[in-house]
Structures are given as C-alpha cells and as structure tokens.
C-alpha cells in the first residue's frame, strides 16, 4: 500500500499496517455481532407481536349481531359488530407494533453503530501501543543495521552488537542471527586488512635491502657498463614493486575508519598536486591546467590529496603522448563538493570503464614490468571516496580519453 504525498510515494509502516489490521478485524467482528443482534431482536419483536394479536383475537366474545342501547336522552344507539371491533383493534395494535419495532430498530442500529465506532477507535489505539511494544526489538535491529550500512568506515561499527535480551521468540532469534552475521563479517574484514598490511610490510624489507645492494654495486668504481645497465633495470623493477606495495598499503588504509576528519578545500589541494606532478607531466609532454574553485568537504586531507594525485597521474600516464592535456577543476554543484579530472588520450570503450576501478585492471591488460602503473590508482580513488561518503564516476570522452568526476559531501566554509 502506498500513499501519495508531495515528496512522492511513501510506504506505510508495519506498525500502522498492524494497527489497521487490528482495527479492521475488530470492526468486522463488531459489525457481525451487531447484525446478529439486529436479526435476533427483530425476530423476537415479530414473535411478541404475533402472540399479543393472537391473544386479543381469542379473548373477544363471538359475534351476536347488532344490539340496541339507549343514550342518556333515551334515543337508541347502535353497537357495532364484535368482529369489526376486533379487526379495528388488531389494525391499531399492528400499527403501534410496527412503529415500536421501527423506533427500536433505529435506536439499536444508530446507538450500536456509534458505540461500535468508539470502541473500534479505542481498540485501534491499544493496537497501536501493543504493536509498538512488539516491534521495538525490530527497531533496534533496523537502527543497528542502518548505522553499519551508512557509517563511513565499517571496521569500528562492525564491533557493535544488538545483544537483545528477552524470551527466545522469533525476534530474539532474528537479532541473534544478525549478531552472528556481523561478527563473521567483522572477523573476515579484519583478517583481510591485517593480511594485506602485514604482507605489504613484510615485502618492503627485502625490497629495501635489494635496492641498497644494487645501489652499492652500481656505485663501485670497478662497475662495468653491463652491471650499470643491469642495476638500472633492477632499480626500475624495485621501484615498481615499491609502488605496488605502497598502493596496497594505502588501499588497506583507505578502507579503514577515517578517524581524523577536518575541513578540506579541494581548491587548495588541486594547485599543490599539479605543482608536484609537473616534472612528470613535463617529461611526458603533457599540459596540466587547473581551474580550482571553492569545494569545501570534510575528511582526511592526506587521503583526499592522494585522490587528486592519483587521478592526475592517471591522466598523465594514460594519455596520447606529447601534446596531450589534463584538465583539473573543482567546485560546488547541488550542495556537494565536486572534483573533475579530464584528459586526452586514446578512445576508451564504455564497457571497459567499470573494470578500471577494480584492482590490477588496466585498459590494455599490460602486466609486465614496463606497465605505467601498478593498476591500483582508480581502485584507491574509489576506496578513499567511499570512505568519505562520496561517489566517483567515469565516462569516456567522444574525442578520446577519460573524464572522472568525484562528488563528496559538502562542509561549511
């Protein structure tokens, strides 16, 4: 059942439906009882009227013709026949019986209907109160699920439990099942994040050691040109692995709770990131233009800065080469902070766009050491934006390249 309102259709709550059900069933039972009472009442009236009329008829003396009586002045006065008198009496009594029956029936129906409506309203009120008490545990389940679903970081909220107390009924069973599900999700997410973080930290140590050994070998005076070329290749491979591990660490961190939230203006972040990525853009022959507009939001400044940096680096590395461009704009739209990064480049099929936000997915499927990135840039962007209660979308440009739009909740300036 839906009710049309100014803001559109809205659902009727379970409590209201239960109340309507209680009231409707009570009203139907009352109408049935009133109908049975009305039938029995009219039947009893008919029987009583018939018995009275029969008694009057049987008690009259038999007809003996007209008799002559004298008036006071001595003139004769005719007395009507007894049968005619009985018929007249019967007619009058039936008329009075019908009037009495109509008045009694009207009184019964009118007053009974009013009493039924009053009692039905009282019953509906008690049904509303009882339904509220019965559904109170379900509201606890709903509120807990809503907090977990809407929280910007689920790892801390997943530690919350309903822990419903009371009889072991269906509602208690539902709450216990929900607690068990949340507990399993909590253990699964915590184990996954700990594994990624621990594995990344453990892999950093041998990479750092290998980089140090390669640099020591390259800086020897006796190092041959072959050793130098091999050292450069190894350093390039090591750098890529370090970027990959750093991306995994950042991805694991961005899925955690945003503990320190502060006002951040994307208009301040955009020029800073553009200046930091300028050497890479100059080396690739890419022109980076910025249009910073005020876009206040709230969150972790370092993570939001990484969002802009990843998008700009993605636009530089996946461009059409020398002569390409990257445009970064920020502003406010529909009460939300908006960041848009567009770049030139080769055409991007629209069916490939959703896969770009998955980890280790690249448009060309390149996974060799010469790949331009670790394949985590857009995944990290999406994870950070979702942790800030935002949304990120991408669409291919008709002329080639990609346009990525990030929307975040606005904060007061």
pLDDT tens digit sequence for 375-385: 667 888 888 88
For position 371, what pLDDT does the model report?
47
Q: Is the dihedral of CA 41, 44, 50, 56 positive or negative?
A: negative
- Among 42-51, 115-124, 292-301, whose mean pLDDT is lowest? 42-51
On average, the pLDDT of the chain sits at: 77
* Closest to 405 in 3D by CA, of 372, 378, 387: 378
State the virtual CA torsion across 193, 194, 200, 203 in degrees, nearest 10: -150
| pLDDT tens-digit map of 211-254 | 888 888 888 888 888 888 888 888 877 877 776 677 667 666 66
Residue 262 has pLDDT above 80, yes or no: yes
Please give the average per-residue pLDDT across 114-137, as a whole number. 81
DSSP 150-212: H-S-HHHHTT------S-SSHHHHHHHHHHHHHHHHHHHHHHHHHHHHHHHHHHHHHHHHHHH
Q: Are 330 and 270 in contact (CB under 8 A)?
A: yes
pLDDT at 406: 94
pLDDT computed for residue 369 by the predictor: 40
Please state, for a pLDDT cut of 70, what percent of the chain lies above it.
73
Percent of the chain with pLDDT over 90: 15
Q: 153 pLDDT exceeds 50?
A: no
The H-assigned helical ranges of 265-394 are 266-276, 278-284, 301-317, 377-387
The phi, psi pair for 38, rounded to 5°, reads: -65, -45
64-104 pLDDT per residue, tens: 444 455 555 556 655 555 666 666 666 777 777 677 777 77
The CA-based angle 228-230-233, given to 5 degrees, is: 110
CA distance 114 to 122: 12
Q: Is the pLDDT at 270 greater than 80, yes or no? A: yes
pLDDT tens digits, 281-329: 999 999 999 999 999 998 888 888 889 988 999 899 888 889 999 999 9
- Res 341: pLDDT: 94
For 351-375, write each residue's pLDDT tens digit.
888 888 876 665 554 444 444 555 6
Confidence of residue 404 (pLDDT cuts 50, 70, 90): very high
pLDDT tens digits for range 154-204: 445 567 777 777 777 777 888 888 888 888 877 877 777 777 667 777 777
The mean pLDDT of 325-343, rounded to a whole number, is 93
pLDDT surpasses 80 at 393: yes
| pLDDT number for residue 337 | 93
Indicate the pairing of strand 325-333 with strand 287-291: parallel
């Amino acid at each position: 059942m839906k009710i049309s309102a100014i803001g559109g259709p809205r659902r009727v709550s379970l409590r209201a439906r239960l109340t309507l059900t209680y009231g409707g069933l009570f009203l139907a039972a009352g109408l049935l009882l009133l109908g049975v009472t009305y039938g029995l009442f009219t039947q009893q009236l008919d029987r009583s009227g018939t018995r009275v009329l029969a008694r009057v008829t049987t008690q009259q003396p038999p007809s003996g013709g007209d008799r002559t009586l004298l008036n006071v002045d001595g003139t004769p006065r005719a007395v009507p026949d007894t049968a005619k008198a009985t018929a007249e009496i019967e007619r009058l009594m039936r008329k009075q019986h019908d009037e009495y029956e109509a008045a009694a029936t009207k009184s019964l129906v009118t007053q009974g209907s009013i009493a039924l409506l009053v009692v039905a309203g009282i019953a509906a009120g008690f049904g509303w109160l009882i339904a509220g008490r019965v559904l109170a545990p379900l509201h606890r389940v709903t509120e807990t699920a809503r907090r977990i679903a809407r929280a910007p970081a689920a790892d801390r909220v997943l530690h919350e439990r309903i822990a419903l107390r009371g009889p072991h009924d269906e509602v208690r069973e539902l709450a216990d099942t929900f607690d068990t599900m949340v507990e399993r999700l909590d253990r699964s997410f915590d184990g996954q994040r700990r594994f990624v973080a621990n594995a990344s930290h453990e892999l950093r140590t041998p990479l750092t050691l290998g980089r140090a050994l390669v640099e020591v070998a390259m800086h020897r005076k006796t190092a041959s040109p072959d050793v130098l070329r091999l050292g450069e290749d190894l350093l390039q491979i090591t750098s890529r692995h370090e970027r990959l591990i750093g991306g995994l660490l950042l991805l694991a961190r961005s899925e955690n709770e945003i503990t320190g939230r502060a006002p951040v203006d994307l208009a301040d972040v955009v020029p800073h990131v553009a200046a930091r990525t300028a050497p890479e853009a100059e080396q690739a022959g890419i022109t980076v233009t910025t249009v910073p507009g005020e876009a206040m939001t709230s969150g972790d400044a370092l993570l939001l800065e990484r969002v802009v940096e990843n998008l700009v680096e993605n636009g530089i590395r996946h461009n059409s080469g020398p002569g390409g461009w990257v445009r970064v704009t920020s502003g406010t739209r529909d009460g939300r902070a908006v960041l848009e990064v567009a770049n030139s480049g080769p055409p991007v099929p629209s069916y490939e766009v959703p896969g770009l936000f998955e980890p280790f997915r690249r448009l060309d499927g390149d996974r060799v050491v010469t790949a331009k990135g670790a394949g985590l840039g857009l995944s990290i962007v999406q994870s950070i934006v979702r942790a800030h209660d935002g949304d990120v979308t991408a669409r291919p440009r008709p002329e080639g390249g990609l346009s990525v739009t990030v929307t975040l909740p606005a904060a007061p300036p």
